Chains A and B, each alone.
Chain A
Amino acid sequence: MCKSMPAKRCLLIAVALLAVVLSAQQVSAWSYSSVYHYKSLYGKHLTGYNSNVIVDARFGRTSVELENRFDYTDRFKDDVQERLNERLQLAVSHNWDNGFVKGFYKSDWFDKETGYILPMGSFMPYYEHNFKQAGVSANGNYANLKASFNGRYRSYNFQPVFPMFTKEVKGDNLKSEAEIDFRFYKPLAIYISASDKSALDSDYDNYDISSVGTGLKLDHTFTPIQHIEAQTGIDWRESDAIAQDRLIPVTSKIRYTYMLDTQITGFVSYEARNFYDREGQALLFNSHYLRASGKYTFLYDLSHGSYMEIGGKAAPSEQVKYTSSAIFAQTDIKLTDRFYLGGGINHMIERYTNYEAKAHYFFTPVSEIFVDYIYTDDIEFNEFATYTSAGLRLLF
């Protein structure tokens, strides 16, 4: 992996990892890595490797988390372009009884001239390039008040694929959002929120957006087996990058969870988004999203890892290119002491059907090796494809 990255970046990751591990009181680590191969009916194929490593070190109430994602694909688009991406994130957080504060630094690195992207509405392609982000988030609860804040700074830089026609794009922006909830009666809270994204020194500054919002939240457990969450609120957004008929959405959500017994659980959630004109008089658009799922857990598996689940979602639309309605089912069954076999079907209306089979073996109680096979019937492009992957999940 380090052969393909700049030595300075590789050294930085190694030093940061070593410093965190050596100085911590308690260290835990999670790692995922897999190789995969994709092949379509018409001969398009690609092979890739991805990994994700998270190391978490605790020093009392303070924790330091280092995450590294690596993704390589030998062909990315139209069999002509490889893609190599590495993401490093370092986060430091401090928790106390009523909240936390967290700071992070994130850096996305792409190999030179790897992968295409169309940034900021450009019609000409650019190579994917480096991002740097830094930010803070804080959350606190005091009596009936709950306050949260997120802020991040991001700088970016894109190199054109055809420099004779387009120039380099670079810039930075600042995004911040805050919300205050006041619980005036135990299941009910009123909230106000504000957010803003502004370009600082950018080639493109017409993607700024700011919004304020307010609404009502409900969070109530009727009995230990029934729980309901609901929220309704309105946002007023200002942006030149959003169509004028999408500036005032009213969003309402309900999620109802029911536990029939220790084996059977299910939920139904519904969300509606209504867009009003600036005067708040005329309803311009509305959209609906309904999702329901039921899960049966086999009690013979004490880890609760054996289950059957079936669900669906409906999001009818006459506006966008594709509806996102789908039905899906999946299962994972413990066959022997450490061996699981599973599979699933995911059918997205008018787009594709995925058939999946998977097997995994736990060589320790928390670490496993797996093989996954997905057959895709692509209705949209009248094509068939297979996706095979194998890898490891480790927990220390």
Chain B
Amino acid sequence: MNKRKLVYLVLLLLLLSLLISCKKPSTVEYTIDNSACNGCGRCLQVCPYDAIELDNNGKAVIDQTLCKQDGLCVKACPQNAVY
């Protein structure tokens, strides 16, 4: 099997795994899109629960044990990186 076929096969399996048992969409945790975050820190400033910190790469990370899901960081992020 050549590399291209293997890549397509893996992607197909991945897509199938994504589509398994599709329920109604329900975001139960806010998460940061790492590739979109520019580390400006505005989400840290608005979070009243001290639930966000910057990691060693300067990207924001949400501590799920402290997050109360009030969504202030979603609104504050200028990069639309919180979802």
Residues in chain A within 8 A of chain B (CB atoms): 69, 71, 85, 102, 104, 116-121, 135, 137, 150, 156, 185-188, 197, 207-209, 216, 218, 220, 222, 228, 230, 232, 239, 241-243, 245-246, 249-250, 252, 254-255, 269-275, 283, 285-289, 291, 313, 315-324, 326, 328, 346, 348, 351-352, 380
Contacts and interface: CB of A to CB of B under 8 A. Distances in A.
Given A119-B49, A230-B11, A286-B26, A272 B83 contact: no
A197 B65 contact: yes
A48 to B, nearest CB: 11
Interface in B21-70: 21-31, 33, 35-36, 41, 45, 48-50, 55-56, 63-66, 68-70
Given A121-B66, A209-B64, A287 B26 contact: yes
Interface in B2-33: 3-4, 6-7, 10-11, 14-15, 17-18, 20-31, 33
A37 B30 CA distance: 29
Given A230-B14, A351-B74, 8 more contacts: A135-B56, A186-B3, A245-B28, A255-B35, A283-B20, A283-B21, A317-B25, A324-B82
25 contacts: A117-B49, A119-B50, A120-B66, A150-B55, A156-B50, A187-B3, A187-B7, A207-B63, A209-B65, A222-B7, A232-B14, A246-B29, A254-B11, A272-B18, A286-B26, A287-B28, A287-B29, A316-B25, A317-B27, A318-B25, A319-B26, A320-B26, A324-B82, A326-B80, A328-B80
B71 A246 contact: no
Contacts of B56: 102, 104, 135, 137, 150
- The main secondary structure of chain A at its interface with chain B is strand
Interface of B: 3-4, 6-7, 10-11, 14-15, 17-18, 20-31, 33, 35-36, 41, 45, 48-50, 55-56, 63-66, 68-71, 74-75, 78, 80, 82-83
B83 A269 contact: no
Nearest to A206: B65
- The main secondary structure of chain B at its interface with chain A is loop
Contacts of A254: 11, 14-15
B54 to A, nearest CB: 9
B25 A320 contact: no
Nearest to A116: B48
A285 B41 CA distance: 29
B11 A242 contact: no
Nearest to B22: A286
A351 B24 CA distance: 22
A70 to B, nearest CB: 12
